Chain A
Amino acid sequence: MDEAGHLSDFLLDRLRAGDLDGPREQEVRAHLAACEDCRARAAALDGQAAEFLAGTEAPADFARRIAARRSERVRTSSMRPLGIGLAAAAAAALIVAYGLMPSEKGGDRIRTKGSVDLSFYVDQDGSGRPGLAGETLREGDRIRLAVEPGAHRFAFVVSVTASGEVTPLYPEGNGQSVPVTAGERSLLEGSVILDAYLGEERLFALFSDRPLGAEQVVAAARQALNGVREQDEPGVQSLHRLPLEVSQATIWFRKE
């Protein structure tokens, strides 16, 4: 309820969608019964909703179209659920093909022997150049990720952005950590095409001896992001670790 004592569109949207809990729904309905202004606003929103649904494609058609776009996007970005890291020999060959190891520039990738690491390559004309921590990339750029899992057997890579987006990359969607070969550097299958979300983006590789679930990782990333966003100058640059008791490596870049 706002200071003028009226219901916000947010509450009216929630009422119409049926996702207010019992006591809150009763409170909102009681207010509507007593407030002519809010009843009028609710009726106007209901009218707009009905007009919108009548004037556009049926929900089933919309869902079908979104499903088609989704499968097209997944194919385009080659971001299929992984299931496996590359075999050591294949990974070694790919790293040769991709040239030098990614630069350590950026200051937040201090490595010791046997430690874990995450790095990326920027795909250009079929070959990869090593990505630099903190470098500026653009929408549509294609990157490939490489991980060093140390002694661990599973890896999970998740992206967090300064705008609060949390996206599991490996595996994509709602799966579990992918198996990797302990002690071997692996170039992960498929590439990631950067989307239109601008600003800073940080990737975390989480290494463990048992698979982590996407829900657990996303919840931890959200918790960490909320902590950063409480600061006066929020940004993912200052986010160096997710609140999970596993080995982690991280790298960030900026999208413009």
Chain B
Amino acid sequence: MTEEQLATLYRNHGPAVFRRCLALLGNPDEAQDALQEVFLRAWTKSGEFRGEASPTTWLYRITTNHCLNRIRGRKRLTEVKPEHLTAGPSSGQAEARRVLAALMQRLDETSARIAVYHFLDNMPQEEIEEVMGISRRTIGKKLKNIRELSRRLGAQPGARG
């Protein structure tokens, strides 16, 4: 990937990447830093992109992985609090962030990503399948477990199935 191609990628996708970083991390400065890391990783891993159908899908995945790692990294310093997952673009996401904050430290890697796409991005299962590359059956099974866990934690997720 050339510098010019990276600039084009940023122009087309930077706003969405930043929006998701901010929604996940809840802090504009950290979201800016994450934005740079996502594009740095995208450039470093541009060879990987050749097999992808959509740059949006690819960048969604890198963004989710990077932000979840940042959130998990906080665990060593402090518990994740709901405010770490605030400042999303729509008021309807407040509940999703609250649910995610409650679930984040208790889910395996795959389930945490499914939870982000489902609760924060409001993606239906076929779109989660597209982004993650795992079967709908697995997604459905894990979502069921996530819902059970969220009920035990007293965090009620949205109604989308």
Contact = CB atoms under 8 A, between A and B. Distances in A.
Interface size class of A (residues with CB under 8 A): 35 or more
B30 to A, nearest CB: 12
B108 A234 contact: yes
Contacts of B61: 164
Contacts, number: 156
Interface string A1-28: 1111000111101101111100000000
Interface string A50-61: 001100100110
A164 B108 contact: no
Interface stretch (A66-74, A118-126, A203-211): A66-74
A17 B13 contact: yes
Interface in B24-69: 36, 39-40, 43-48, 50-51, 53-57, 60-61, 65, 68-69
B40 A70 contact: yes
A62 B121 contact: no
Counting contact residues on chain B (CB < 8 A from A), the size range is: 35 or more
B131 to A, nearest CB: 7
Interface in A216-256: 218-219, 222, 226, 229-230, 233-235, 256
A49 interface: yes
Interface SS of chain B: helix, strand, loop or mixed?
helix
B122 interface: yes
23 contacts: A1-B124, A3-B160, A8-B122, A8-B124, A10-B56, A10-B131, A17-B55, A19-B55, A45-B89, A52-B18, A59-B10, A60-B3, A62-B7, A63-B4, A63-B10, A66-B40, A67-B6, A70-B44, A163-B65, A163-B113, A196-B69, A198-B72, A215-B47
